[in-house]
Structure 1
């Protein structure tokens, strides 16, 4: 009996520490048309993805405007409720799980983290507008049985200045959606996000700087993670929640590891090796850690054959050498 008890204890400890199935995801970009197998199958055949982030959009006219315009006929199909549902249904046919991840776009590409109202009246109006926006997609996530719902993306000023609203919003979302919840905090925001304890994943858009080199080497990129990784893990430990990279990736451009969040046109020199080395270092740093849930590569366009390529200097891995790197790490385990 003593041996049997020790055996049961061993099984219990093993189940607590064994690595769970990783979320090997891609951010599936909204487009102007419905999708079909030709658009979804490359996620599996090219990178072995098992998850996709479906991203409907709302639009705001300026950083101090409280009105979120969403689900209108003027939007691209994939940015609407109907489009997000159709995308999800087609992705399901490839056995791909779903994270519904609504985004906000502010005119001229202003950073959403700077969204700021000038009066209490406008803050209340923004809260009402955001509630209508996000609950619409919480209902969709429940309707399609999405595995994860992301309650917001890079909204630091909003979350810090209105914490009571966000806590109440999470309660309202939980009344509608019964799956797992996260929030996509920017890489330099997550340490101040006030509601991790109420969610299932600590979500980070992981554009951490790792190297100042023109062509970051794999070794230097690994070194660059040494200052970030312990801090990230400490938040997993503190809240007893797994870390999820709600976005991650690097441009195929010179100095890709220096300020990975940049997508402006001032950086133009194509550097495929830089993208490969920085991406591989990220996988080597995190993908075998038990406290790390996985992540969503940024970004994957629906028309595979016309996307990316060796002359492309943007984030997408499509038709670039880094694609094989992703597939290699995404093939380490099956879901």
Structure 2
């Protein structure tokens, strides 16, 4: 009888374990603010049925060829610093939400981080040492928090492709101080060339793939646009046998939102709430039921929910738009 009870308990435990492993990451990219956060800022994330947040401390460099990273200073917004990360994470964890720590680099004037590239071996070495200090600061913080995932870099293609040996060594150094899962956030046109996927736990993609040139694409239009990209994603997944994680995904509520989804420069153009909704529905249809797909983090979510987004807003956030209601339904599935 005791043996039967033990076997039954083991079977139940295994079943719960399987369920927990197959639960998708239904995440939001939580934007750092000037201030501390409180439960009032977390309630909308819970209402959206999110089970993860990506928290994004920042480092800054002055130019694409500047080797020194400035980070964790009192001149930054609180949420962009180590103390901000710790405060945010502990508040979310108290409410049962899991954490991905996702450090970003910001180049002054908003230049694309994928083009960060040094002009001398001396400066490459300075950058490598500076980035090591930067990422280990947040790797140690992630370990302190027992964060579930650490993203070791975000859209750094030229740095990655020009210094592959450094990145392999960097991953080993990170694993000495952080015991959770690792990923890297490759840009949508970069992920096929990342040389170190085998050393990580997830293949991370910032999934702003060009999908359709239509002004207001239907769900079917978006899904048709996904076909070639999805095939390439599946090939990379099959090669490395790692789950795919969309470290960022999302669409602006704007005309032609599927043409260049990464484009944040069209500030004054028409609001198109339907296009945003259809894009989110399509990406969920295409990926969330796939066994090899781990989930993703919608871009982006601001702490002061009542003051952002809305039906006159053409930016990425789904907050206070039909997209938020859809996201809630999709994440609840």
Question: Shorter-chain-normalised TM-score: which range?
Answer: over 0.9
Q: Distance in 2 between matches of 1:69 and 1:271?
A: 38
For residues 252-299 of structure 1, what are the alpha-carbon distances to aligned partners after superposition, in whole Å with 9 as ceiling and x for unaligned? 000000000000035621000000011100000000000000000000
Where 1:25 maps in the other structure, the secondary structure is: strand
Question: How far apart are residue 230 of structure 1 and its match?
Answer: 1.3
Question: How far apart are residue 325 of structure 1 and its match?
Answer: 1.3
What residue in structure 2 maps to residue 164 of structure 1?
165
What residue in structure 1 maps to residue 206 of structure 2?
205
Q: How many residues align?
A: 318
Q: Distance in 1 between matches of 2:102 and 2:134?
A: 12
For residues 199-229 of structure 1, what are the alpha-carbon distances to aligned partners after superposition, in whole Å with 9 as ceiling and x for unaligned? 0000000001111100011111111111111
Counterpart mapping for 1:258-269 below 5 A: 258-265=259-266, 268-269=269-270
What residue in structure 1 maps to residue 25 of structure 2?
23
Using structure 1 for the length normalisation, give the TM-score: 0.93
Counterpart mapping for 1:1-335 below 5 A: 20-45=22-47, 47-265=48-266, 268-332=269-333
C-alpha contact 1:17 1:290 (8 A) present in aligned 2: no
For residues 130-170 of structure 1, what are the alpha-carbon distances to aligned partners after superposition, in whole Å with 9 as ceiling and x for unaligned? 00000000000000000000000000000000000000000
Q: Distance in 1 between matches of 2:212 and 2:71?
A: 38
Unaligned 5+ segments in structure 1 are 1-11
Where 1:293 maps in the other structure, the secondary structure is: strand
Question: How far apart are residue 328 of structure 1 and its match?
Answer: 1.1
Q: Distance in 2 between matches of 1:148 and 1:168?
A: 19
C-alpha contact 1:26 1:53 (8 A) present in aligned 2: yes
> Residues 107 and 168 (structure 1 numbering): CA distance in 2 closer, same or farther, change over 3 Å?
same
Q: Distance in 2 between matches of 1:16 and 1:330?
A: 19
C-alpha contact 1:56 1:81 (8 A) present in aligned 2: yes
Q: CA RMSD in A?
A: 1.5
Where 2:228 maps in the other structure, the secondary structure is: coil
Q: Distance in 1 between matches of 2:21 and 2:219?
A: 25
Where 2:316 maps in the other structure, the secondary structure is: coil
Question: How far apart are residue 78 of structure 1 and its match?
Answer: 0.1
Question: How far apart are residue 235 of structure 1 and its match?
Answer: 1.1
Q: Distance in 1 between matches of 2:329 and 2:229?
A: 24
C-alpha contact 1:18 1:290 (8 A) present in aligned 2: no
Q: Distance in 1 between matches of 2:169 and 2:40?
A: 41
> Residues 266 and 30 (structure 1 numbering): CA distance in 2 closer, same or farther, change over 3 Å?
closer
Q: Distance in 2 between matches of 1:217 and 1:111?
A: 30
Question: How far apart are residue 18 of structure 1 and its match?
Answer: 11
Q: Distance in 2 between matches of 1:176 and 1:25?
A: 25
Question: How far apart are residue 17 of structure 1 and its match?
Answer: 11
Q: Distance in 2 between matches of 1:133 and 1:18?
A: 32
C-alpha contact 1:253 1:267 (8 A) present in aligned 2: no
